[in-house]
């Protein structure tokens, strides 16, 4: 028999409190990348704990190290003797590092008392029970982890164990499952709590922890709600899940439940929900509204689940089918429209016009309409919730066509067809047009035109010095696969900085293209995505729900040459500004203020960390003596907390009402400046080699963001207004109408990708599309007729031009456009 780890073996007569658990660590999937250039060398350490994770380590084992992979496969098996009522298993994944401390890649906690672990049927192989996937979660909010582990867990029946009486139909059940009654489960839970605790205290619920304060008093921490209390929380007795339900943990370690019958998730235990008699007697409309609430909870919870239930893997059709099922109302048999048609709303009537066309009368408002109110109305519950629901609840993918969600035409509009082509009549103004009026609301936010910024930018461009006594162009040859390393090698090897101010001639390996501006725009776009990638350790996201970037204060641990890389990034940013290109990335506002040499204020904290900001505001408005604060802060380095003094001897200087303003200023300076001072100095050094600092003094921090990164949102109305047409195309051509219809119905991400496909960058210049630049100065976005419907669209990024074949239908144009945008990469010929 294999070696048994964990608890010591108990004599056969007293073995009731321990079980033999078989653990097979199968594989890791899509682990986080911590090495800046290479893959990880992951291994797993399995630890058996007594009670809480901090309650004492019993035994541990470690797998072998798998070299250079983010998807390691171990297939290692271990046997542990455990106490299911008290023990907890922890699986920690690390990246082996010979030079420094091993990097943490995530952990999985399995509290044996709360997780259902099947029994291996006697006489079967361990493979009779399938392995399960467990999402890796971080140890703290600063840990960057991803991926999941596949683990096999099953109890092994030992010789001498009493065999339980099996029901006659056990063969019909799935292998590895055991059928128990609720009363028996409650008895076993109570007996287990009494046996595991000498004071007969039942175990804590999931997510709770027992601690002691400085006075020795016991209190309890709820990690799910981040609250504390003095009373010991009790465990619900109805922990048995109903049929079709499954318990899971998300990436933050929170417990949730999956209903496989309805394919919905919820936070509350389904066995603790009680149905009231009133709910059973509710009307069909109430049932529809209840199902709508379930759909909304399902859609909102999808933002928290990171494994099988991620919304990015749900198509638009699935979402619409669920909404339609939730909103469907059964028609009473006495309805006038027949048993298969929904009745008209109260106060409505349907009549027939002299030409045979149906119209509808609203006696409530004494108005008529061509639109069927049964098809255009929205339930009141949906209208109320839609105003509060976040935009990302039903986040669309690139394959979603927003045209199907436009709703009815505006009042006074009518849709007609002429020779198979649709046009629209505005009866209010007695004007017709080819374009659907509903598309305008999908155009995106308007471009905030600023005459003041335009004047500053023109003055800034006029002061940039042109290089002298240098070649006409600088050749930069890189590969797409190693664009960061190749660009770093080329840029940092140039000693004469004026060479970087000449015309950039970018060439990608294996691509024969002539760079008249489009290739260099894509080079800046691709390079900036790599430079600002948090997995390289140079930058990090400012918050878990905010994708603005900030400098990683621990960048030196990820890369010993990090200061050289920040100088390289500063050079690239200066090259982008000098050549009028944009970077693909947005930074926190204090980053731009540091570039301008401005003082940080308390307001700068609000957009970066609202909770920290509220704490500092409270200190400014109240007496902080009771908080027992000192002029020091705690930093967390890979799970280890380190105290940093804000001023010499700060750990002994208490914060009072008299010196609290100084304390807040020092905290803000530490948060934004002192921690990253060396990295920022290197960045500014590289940036100022191309752009003198005195020229930036005319801009504020908001304008610096526009200068470096441009606008993030795409305004289709502005895009369309500043577009030129060539060949047989014009603004009213059927193909052009279908093109703009497709662009309007793209989400903002797909619009940015289309813009990057045609112009080489996904960013819009300040003041909009009228400021687009090509190879010879200002160059409007251009659409030219080319080819035949069997071909895909092609782009000339140097001239901001797309060659669009004359597709016969909107569906065909949209399909071919998406294929071209999502699958095209590279240059050939003149671009």
Q: Which residues are annotated as catalytic?
A: 798
Both tokens of 33, joined, read 């990348």
DSSP state of 358: E
DSSP code string of 459-507:
HHHHHSPPP-SS-SEEEEEE-STTHHHHHHHHHHH---GGGGGSEEEEE
User: Could you tell me which residues are beta bridge partners of residue 93?
Assistant: 44, 106
Instruction: Could you list the beta-strand ranges (E) of 302-441.
Output: 348-352, 358-362, 367-369, 413-418, 421-426, 431-433
> 227-229 and 245-249 as β-strands: parallel, antiparallel, unpaired?
unpaired
Rg of the chain (C-alpha set): 32
Token code pair at residue 205: 């619920």
For residue 796, the cross-strand partners are 801
Q: Give the torsion sign (CA, 384, 388, 394, 397).
A: positive
Say if residue 347 is exposed, middle or buried (CB neighbours under 10 Å; 0-12, 13-18, 19+): exposed
Question: What are phi and psi for residue 251, nearest 5 degrees?
Answer: -65, -20
> What does the block give as tokens for 309?
């239930």
Place of tokens 């007729």: 785
Cβ neighbour number for residue 828 with a 10 Å cutoff? 9
299, 319 Cβ separation under 8 angstroms: yes
| Token pair belonging to 682 | 């290197």
| Main-chain phi, psi angles of 553, to 5 degrees | -65, -20
Which helix (H) or strand (E) covers residue 287, if one does? helix 284-301
- Cα-based angle 75, 77, 78 (whole degrees, multiple of 5): 155
Strand 546-551 versus strand 539-543 pairing type: antiparallel
**Please, are residues 148 and 28 in contact by the beta-carbon 8 Å criterion?**
yes
Taken in order 591, 592, 595, 598, is the CA torsion positive or negative?
negative
The stretches of 653-796 forming alpha helices (DSSP H) are: 660-672, 677-688, 701-709, 716-721, 734-744, 748-759
Instruction: With H, G, I as helix, E, B as strand and everything else as coil, classify residue 176.
Output: coil
φ/ψ of 358, rounded to 5, equals -75, 140
Q: How far apart are alpha carbons 812 and 793 in whole angstroms?
A: 12
């Amino acid at each position: 028999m294999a070696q048994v780890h964990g608890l010591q073996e108990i004599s056969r007569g007293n073995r009731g409190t321990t079980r033999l658990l078989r653990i097979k660590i199968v594989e890791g999937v899509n682990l986080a990348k911590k090495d800046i250039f290479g893959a990880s060398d992951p291994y797993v350490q399995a630890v058996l704990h007594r009670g809480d994770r901090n309650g004492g380590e019993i035994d541990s084992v470690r797998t072998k190290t798998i070299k250079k992979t983010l998807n390691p496969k171990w297939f290692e098996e271990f046997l542990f003797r455990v106490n299911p009522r008290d023990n907890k298993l922890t699986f920690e994944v690390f990246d082996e590092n010979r030079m420094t401390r091993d990097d943490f890649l995530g952990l999985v906690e399995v509290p044996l008392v709360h997780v259902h672990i099947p029994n291996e049927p006697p006489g079967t192989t361990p493979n009779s029970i399938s392995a399960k996937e467990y999402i890796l979660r971080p140890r703290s909010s600063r840990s960057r982890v991803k991926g999941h582990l596949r683990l096999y867990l099953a109890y092994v029946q030992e010789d001498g164990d009493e065999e339980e009486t099996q029901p006659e139909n056990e063969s019909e059940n799935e292998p590895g499952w055991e059928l128990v009654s609720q009363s028996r489960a409650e008895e076993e839970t109570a007996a287990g709590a009494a046996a595991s605790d000498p004071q007969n205290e039942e175990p804590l619920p999931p997510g709770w922890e027992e601690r002691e304060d400085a006075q020795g008093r016991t209190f309890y921490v709820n990690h799910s709600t981040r609250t504390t209390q003095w009373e010991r929380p009790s465990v619900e007795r109805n922990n048995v899940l109903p049929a079709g339900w499954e318990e899971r943990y998300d990436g933050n370690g929170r417990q949730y439940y999956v209903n496989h019958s309805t394919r919905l998730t919820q936070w509350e235990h389904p066995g603790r929900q009680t149905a009231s008699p009133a709910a059973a007697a509710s009307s069909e409309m109430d049932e529809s509204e209840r199902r709508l609430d379930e759909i909304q909870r399902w859609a909102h919870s999808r933002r928290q689940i990171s494994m099988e239930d991620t919304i990015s893997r749900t198509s638009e059709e699935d979402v619409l089918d669920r909404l339609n099922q939730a909103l469907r109302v059964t028609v009473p048999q006495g309805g006038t429209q027949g048993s298969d048609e929904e009745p008209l709303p109260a106060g409505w009537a349907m009549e027939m016009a002299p030409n045979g066309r149906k119209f509808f009368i609203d006696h409530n408002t004494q108005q008529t309409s061509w639109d069927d109110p049964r098809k255009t109305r929205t339930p009141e519950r949906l209208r109320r919730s839609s105003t509060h629901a976040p935009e990302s609840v039903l986040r669309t993918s690139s394959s979603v066509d927003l045209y199907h969600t436009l709703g009815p035409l505006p009042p006074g509009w009518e849709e007609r067809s002429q020779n198979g082509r649709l046009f629209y009549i505005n009866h209010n103004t007695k004007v017709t047009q080819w374009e659907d009026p509903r598309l305008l609301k999908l155009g995106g936010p308007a471009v905030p035109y600023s005459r003041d910024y335009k004047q500053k930018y023109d003055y800034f461009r006029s002061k940039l010095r042109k290089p002298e006594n240098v070649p006409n162009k600088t050749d930069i040859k890189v590969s797409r696969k190693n664009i960061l390393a190749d660009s770093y090698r080329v840029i940092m090897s140039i000693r004469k900085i004026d060479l970087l101010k000449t015309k950039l001639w970018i060439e990608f390996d294996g691509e024969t293209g002539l760079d008249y501006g489009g290739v260099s725009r894509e080079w800046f776009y691709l390079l900036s995505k790599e430079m600002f990638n948090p997995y390289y350790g140079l930058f990090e996201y400012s918050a878990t729900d905010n994708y603005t970037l900030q400098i990683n204060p621990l960048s030196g641990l990820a890369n010993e040459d990090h200061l050289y890389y920040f100088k390289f990034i500063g050079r690239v940013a200066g090259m982008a500004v000098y050549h009028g290109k944009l970077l693909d990335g947005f930074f926190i506002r204090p980053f731009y203020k540091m570039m301008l040499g401005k003082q940080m204020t308390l307001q700068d904290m609000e957009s970066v960390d609202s909770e920290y900001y509220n704490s500092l505001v409270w200190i400014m408005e109240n007496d902080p003596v009771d908080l027992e604060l000192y002029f020091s802060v705690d930093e967390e380095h890979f799970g280890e907390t380190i105290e940093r003094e804000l001023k010499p001897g700060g750990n002994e200087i208490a914060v009072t009402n008299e010196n609290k303003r100084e304390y807040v200023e020092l905290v803000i300076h530490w948060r934004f400046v002192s921690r990253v001072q060396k990295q920022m100095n290197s960045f500014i050094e590289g940036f100022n080699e191309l752009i003198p600092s005195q020229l930036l003094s005319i801009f504020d921090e908001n304008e610096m963001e526009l200068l470096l990164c441009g606008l993030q949102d795409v305004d289709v109305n502005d895009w369309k207004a500043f577009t030129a047409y060539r060949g047989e195309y014009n603004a009213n051509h059927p193909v052009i109408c279908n093109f703009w219809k497709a662009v309007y119905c793209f989400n903002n991400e797909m619009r940015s990708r289309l813009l990057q496909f045609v112009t080489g960058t996904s960013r819009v210049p300040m003041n909009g599309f009228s400021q687009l630049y090509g190879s010879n100065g200002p160059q409007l976005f251009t659409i030219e007729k080319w080819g035949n419907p069997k071909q895909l669209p092609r782009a000339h990024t140097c001239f901001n031009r797309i060659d669009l074949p004359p597709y016969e239908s909107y569906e065909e144009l949209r399909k071919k456009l998406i294929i071209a945008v999502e699958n095209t990469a590279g240059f050939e010929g003149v671009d």
